[in-house]
Amino acid sequence: MNRRPRTPEGISKQFLELIVANYRGNQCLMWPFGAGSDGYGLIHLNGKKERVARIVCKIENGPSPDPRMDAAHSCGNGHLGCVSRSHLRWATRKENVQDARDHGTISAGERNGHAKLTEADVIYVRNMRGKKKVTDLANEFGVCTTTISQMQFGSTWANTGGPITPRKSNSSKSAAAE
């Protein structure tokens, strides 16, 4: 990601106070100044770095009901620097992650830069359950056996097709013992 050049002291604060705080449009308003490595706008206020989206969410919605809550973007463009007041609300981390999934901004599956497998590979692995050994599949794809098992049981790549084998619960074991 290209780093934005440092702006003269006070200009970003003026932009926040004069432009962002008064913006009433429905379109994304992008933060033109400093950003973190994740793309979210940052500003230095009172000697500390703060996320602009949290400041704007506080302006629009009042203080966070809980300090652990996120400033969630309805537009899905927070990672691009959106600071539009009408796009922000307080949300739990779980709600914010679900928003990111809904917007397609989470790097899951093939979009994850560390993924060694494709969705087609995952479907193939799931279809091979009971037909090929887990160790053989792991060697074939260059991953560990745990990765293969997690795919087959659906604890990873959960939103990918193919048959998922449900894990046997402890209740079925105790029912069989009775």
pTM for the full predicted model: 0.63
Task: For residues 135 and 77, state if they share a domain.
Answer: no
List phi, psi (to 5°) of 135. -65, -40
Parent domain of 21: 11-103
Task: For residues 97 and 122, state if they share a domain.
Answer: no
Domain termination site, one of 62, 82, 103 = 103
| CB-count burial class (<10 Å; 0-12, 13-18, 19+) for 23 | middle
pLDDT tens-digit readout, 136-176: 999 999 999 999 999 898 888 877 777 777 766 655 454 44
Distance CA 106, CA 101 (A): 6
Task: For residues 65 and 113, state if they share a domain.
Answer: no
The amino acid at 152: Q
Task: For residues 67 and 146, state if they share a domain.
Answer: no
pLDDT tens-digit readout, 6-23: 566 689 999 999 999 999
């079925």: which residue's tokens? Answer: 172
The conformational region for residue 95 under phi > 0 = left, psi -120 to 50 = alpha, else beta, is: alpha
